[in-house]
């Protein structure tokens, strides 16, 4: 560290180094071996196997003299020959301005087309956490490996066999090298722990050793590594309900205390993710979050406490954990749960070191739904792209713009090639558009690779065939890496002022969802703007709620005859439909019982989000106008009343 500071100071004042300069070793710095299989170590101009100040000297001399051919390859970062920009990159690396040195991405020459996408970066807060997320670049999961679990595994044993129980392949350094050489800068290594602990939640040393060994494979390649508590969402370990609260907090704290202690000397390349997808497993709410549900609200409170317990344990372990970046999820890893009022980021003794963890397999029918399931689609469409952009913009508005960095720790589109039909090109387009849209909003993404490829046998998200260590879907991998590049991210002075919030003013998202910062309560104030020549605009605020096991679609109608504010009484809905009863066109599924309507209203008032719908519009002659009705005016503001 002292040597690095000496050279940094020297470079800062423009000191010239010569062959007689005393040796300053940078052996603790590892350049990225993006093309390691051909002997390339980027930044190593003099080919001595280490990136240090002598490489800067050699690179400068190349302006007037000649390096070896390998030396030229090693410092040609942009692929257009050695020039002053390459010298600048080495200087930035030695100063710590850039974290890795990589060469130009190899041109894809396969059978699929990598789309050309240009999305200008939105303003991203110039905070260290956002710059850190940008450096993470494109990522991939080592799924179905250290996260595999089994009910039959002997309690208290190391159970090392579980690593291959699901994917059939033991992870090797060569597998991680292939991931690095593909251009990935981040790897998420999900880890489940409960099959490897004793009754007091002490982790078996052999399992912890193996986890560390795999982590080191990636750390040695200068990758960013994410490890977590993954498939431990069970009653006896971590479950988000008050009945399991104390035991779950003990489990989470005990696991993270041991893990953080083991890795306390690792630098910021190692990232801890407190939990995976904490949720009410075995219930109807497993993959659905509703602020109007008492069960969900209880679960959210528990998850807040588990995140806090995990963070406290990590920070208390000392070493580099005091300022380590930590990712935290909301209920089930869902963005909509993170936007709910119930979710709170934990209190942190460190500054600007928390990252929101989100999972988003969107659009569902294209990305996640089984190939032959109802509603499943195989073609990537403009509507799919629009949905992705919509979600990314929502994340930007709700989090990025408010100084909360986001990493999408899981995403992907499963293989749906069936009956000889190849739909891979759509998945390539999906990957490119998904990552480009996220990166333009300051978000880095980590593809879910579970080493599964057979479209009919499960969730087939595999890209790298680990048994043969070859890329089955290299075009998809190429697309994710290409658009995961963060070099064009536009960092600006943060503009969000949390003290400027009025307290009850809502955020209207691009898809028409209104997010209230407090419970909706008995009334909502809508600000409406009507276009010239429009006499009336109307629609509804809609909700989906569950009452005593029955699902309802609920609407509160609104109508405006001029621009200005209108007030909606939220105590009883104008309309409620029993979603459990098929619509036969006769209105038999409409709710008429006033008691039920009142109970539904109480649930709605406890929530904090609604969807805007536009149902009709009339001109000044009271002629009905045609859809889409929001072209004639819009709801531009909303606030929750008392």
Q: Are 320 and 266 in contact (CB under 8 A)?
A: yes
CA distance 335 to 469: 34
**307: CB partners within 8 A, 6+ apart:** 274, 275, 328, 329, 345, 346
Q: Is 230 among the residues known to form the active site?
A: yes
In sequence order, what DSSP letters do the residues of 120-189 get, joined into one string? Answer: PPPEEE--HHHHHHHHH-SEEE--SSTT---TTSPTTS--GGGGGTTT-----HHHHHHHHHTT--EEEE
Q: Is the peptide bond before 363 cis (omega within 30 degrees of 0)?
A: yes
Q: Are 413 and 462 in contact (CB under 8 A)?
A: no
According to DSSP, the β-strands at 444-447 and 406-411 are parallel
Q: Kindly state the DSSP code that residue 279 receives in the 8-state scheme.
A: -
CA distance 535 to 619: 5
414: nearest Cα among 469, 357, 484, 364:
364
In which element (H, E) is residue 330 found?
none
Q: Is 194 among the residues known to form the active site?
A: no
Q: Is 231 among the residues known to form the active site?
A: no
| Alpha-carbon distances of 630 from 385, 535, 616, 627, rounded to whole Å | 21, 14, 9, 8
Determine phi and psi for 90, rounding to 5 degrees: -65, -45
519: nearest Cα among 609, 617, 618, 625:
609
What would the two tokens of residue 389 be?
Answer: 């952009």
| Alpha-carbon distances of 329 from 355, 356, 388, 424, rounded to whole Å | 9, 6, 20, 31
Q: Are 192 and 259 in contact (CB under 8 A)?
A: no
Alpha-helical (H) ranges within 202-287 are 205-219, 245-262
Q: Are 597 and 576 in contact (CB under 8 A)?
A: yes
| Alpha-carbon distances of 368 from 365, 372, 412, 414, 522, rounded to whole Å | 6, 12, 8, 6, 38
The single residue of 277, 342, 387, 393 carrying the catalytic annotation is 277
What would the two tokens of residue 258 be?
Answer: 């041991």
CA distance 94 to 11: 9
The single residue of 196, 204, 230, 269 carrying the catalytic annotation is 230
Identify each DSSP E strand in 402-522 by its residue range. 406-411, 444-447, 464-465, 470-471, 490-492, 507-508, 513-515
Alpha-helical (H) ranges within 470-591 are 474-483
Residues identified as active-site:
230, 277, 410
């Amino acid at each position: 560290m002292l040597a690095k500071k000496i050279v940094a100071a020297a470079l800062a004042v423009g000191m010239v180094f010569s062959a007689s300069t005393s040796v300053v070793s940078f052996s603790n710095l590892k350049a990225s071996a993006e093309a390691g299989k051909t002997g390339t170590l980027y930044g190593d101009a003099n080919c001595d196997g280490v990136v240090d100040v002598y490489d800067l000297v050699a690179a400068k001399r190349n302006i007037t003299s000649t390096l070896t051919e390998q030396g030229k390859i090693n410092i040609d970062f942009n692929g257009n020959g050695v020039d002053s920009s390459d010298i600048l990159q080495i200087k930035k690396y030695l100063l710590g301005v850039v974290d890795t040195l990589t060469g130009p991405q190899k041109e894809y020459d396969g059978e699929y087309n990598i789309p050309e996408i240009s999305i200008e970066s939105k303003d991203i807060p110039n905070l260290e956490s956002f710059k850190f997320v940008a450096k993470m670049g494109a990522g991939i999961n080592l799924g179905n490996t250290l996260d595999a679990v089994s009910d039959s595994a002997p309690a208290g044993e190391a159970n090392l066999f579980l690593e291959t129980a699901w994917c059939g392949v033991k992870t090797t350094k060569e597998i991680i090298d292939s991931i690095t050489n593909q251009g990935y800068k981040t790897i998420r290594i999900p880890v489940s722990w409960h099959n490897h602990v004793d009754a007091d939640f002490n982790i078996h040393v052999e399992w912890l050793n193996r986890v560390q060994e795999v982590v080191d494979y990636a750390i040695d390649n200068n990758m960013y590594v994410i490890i977590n508590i993954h498939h431990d969402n069970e009653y006896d370990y971590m479950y988000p309900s008050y009945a399991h609260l104390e035991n779950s907090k003990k489990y989470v704290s005990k696991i993270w205390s041991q893990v953080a202690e083991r890795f306390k000397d690792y630098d910021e390349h190692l990232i801890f993710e407190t939990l995976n997808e904490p949720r009410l497993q075995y219930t109807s709410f497993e993959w659905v979050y509703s602020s109007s549900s008492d069960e969900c609200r209880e679960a959210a409170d528990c998850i807040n406490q588990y995140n806090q317990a995990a963070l406290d344990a990590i920070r208390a372990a000392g070493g580099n954990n005091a300022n380590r970046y930590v990712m935290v999820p909301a209920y089930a890893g869902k963005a909509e749960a993170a936007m709910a009022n119930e979710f709170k980021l934990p209190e942190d003794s460190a500054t600007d070191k928390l990252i929101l963890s989100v999972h988003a397999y969107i659009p569902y029918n294209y990305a996640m739904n089984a190939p032959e399931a109802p509603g499943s689609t195989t073609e990537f469409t403009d509507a799919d792209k629009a949905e992705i952009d919509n979600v990314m913009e929502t994340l930007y508005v709700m989090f990025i713009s408010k100084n909360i960095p986001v990493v999408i720790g899981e995403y992907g589109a499963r293989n749906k090639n069936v009956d000889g039909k190849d739909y891979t090109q759509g998945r390539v387009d999906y990957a490119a558009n998904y990552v480009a849209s996220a990166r333009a909003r300051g978000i880095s993404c980590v593809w879910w690779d579970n080493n599964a490829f057979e479209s009919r046998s499960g969730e087939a998200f595999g890209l790298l065939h680990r048994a043969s260590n070859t890329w089955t879907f290299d075009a998809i991998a190429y697309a994710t890496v290409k658009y995961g590049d963060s070099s064009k991210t536009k960092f600006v002075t943060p503009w969000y002022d949390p003290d400027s919030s009025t307290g009850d003013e809502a955020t209207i998202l691009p898809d028409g969802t209104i997010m209230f910062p407090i419970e909706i309560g008995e009334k909502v104030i809508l600000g409406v703007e009507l276009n010239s020549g429009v006499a009336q605009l109307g629609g509804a605020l809609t909700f989906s709620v569950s009452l005593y096991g029955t699902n309802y679609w609920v609407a509160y109608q609104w109508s405006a005859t001029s621009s200005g504010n209108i007030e909606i009484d939220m105590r009883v809905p104008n309309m409620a439909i029993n979603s459990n009863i098929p619509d036969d066109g006769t209105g038999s599924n409409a709710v008429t019982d006033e008691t039920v309507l009142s109970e539904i209203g109480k649930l709605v008032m406890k929530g904090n989000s609604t969807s805007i719908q536009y149902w009709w519009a009339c001109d000044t002659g009271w002629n009905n106008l045609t859809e889409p009705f929001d072209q004639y005016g819009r709801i531009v503001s909303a606030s929750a009343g008392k």
